[in-house]
Amino acid sequence: MSDWKNDVEIMVHEGKISVPYSWTVGSTLSRFYCELRDNGKIWANRCPKCGTTFVPPKIKCINCYEEPHDWVELPGTGTVETYTVVRYEEPSMHPRKAPFVYGVIKMDGADTGMVHFIDEVAPEDVKVGMRVEAVLEDEREGNILDIKHFRPIG
């Protein structure tokens, strides 16, 4: 029946299109990143109706669809809610050498968590509930890596 399939040379073609991208950060997140870059501050925004405070800031309140236009400065401290120790390397995704730690930090003054690296602590010493603070880069460019990582307080 399909005898020719036994003899055919199977081919694979390589793709050539490269599609470059840029992303408009938007008014809301641009404000967040400008505060971080220029003043070294982490800002959240708060829904005027239900009071939920979002960091990173949201375009619209997820509960009420109100514009969360009350802006609040956060102290930059928080509590580790959950984390993992990463033991493989994907240099195109994560700019760190394994082993490194990332997780979710519930920020003081906000109702949401931020995801980021946790460092200046041995991986085995990281604990859920640990109090941490943001460590900023000296030269900041207006992106999420302006926060170097979070480290234990004290």
Partner 1 sequence: MGKRVGIIGVGQTHHAAKRLDASGTELIAEAVSRALDDAQLTIKDIDAIVVGNMDHFENINYVDMWAVDGLGACMKPVFKVTTGGTTGTTVGACGYYHVASGLFDVVMAVGWEKNSESDTQAAISTCANPTLERDPFAGAIGPLATEYSMYMKAFGATEEDAAMVAARDRNNALRNPYAHSRQEVTVEDVLNSPMLSYPIKFLDMCPRSDGSCAVIFACEEKAKKLCPRPAWVHASVVRHDYTHFGDLEWKFMPTLERASAAAYKLAGITNPLKEFDVAELYLPASTCGVKWMDSLWFCEHGGAPALIRKGTFEMDGELPINPSGGVISTNPIGATALIRIGEGAWQIMGRAGERQVEGAKKALCTGFGGCSWSDVMILGADLP
Should residue 49 be labelled a site residue for partner 1 when binding is judged by CB under 8 A? no
Specify the stretch interacting with partner 1 by CB under 8 A; choose among 31-39, 60-68, 76-84, 116-124.
60-68
Specify the stretch interacting with partner 1 by CB under 8 A; choose among 27-35, 71-79, 130-138, 141-149.
27-35
Query: What is the pattern of x (binds partner 1, CB under 8 A) and - over residues 2-21?
Result: -----------x-xxxxxxx
Using alpha carbons, list the distances in angstroms from residue 106 to 92, 122, 135, 136.
Answer: 27, 20, 15, 17
Tokens representing 53? Answer: 């405070």
144 within 8 A of 150, measured Cβ to Cβ: no
| Peptide bond before residue 56 is cis, with ω within 30 degrees of 0 | yes
Should residue 26 be labelled a site residue for partner 1 when binding is judged by CB under 8 A? yes
Burial class from Cβ neighbours inside 10 Å (0-12, 13-18, 19+) for residue 136 reads: middle
Should residue 114 be labelled a site residue for partner 1 when binding is judged by CB under 8 A? no
Q: How far is the CB of 125 from partner 1 (least distance, A)?
A: 33
Specify the stretch interacting with partner 1 by CB under 8 A; choose among 1-9, 26-34, 94-102, 130-138.
26-34
Handedness of CA 31, 33, 39, 40 (dihedral sign): positive
CB-wise, 21 or 88, nearer to partner 1?
A: 21
CB-wise, 66 or 141, nearer to partner 1?
A: 66
The secondary element (H helix, E strand) that includes residue 114 is: strand 113-118
What does the binding site for partner 1 look like in residue numbers (CB under 8 A)?
A: 13, 15-29, 58-65
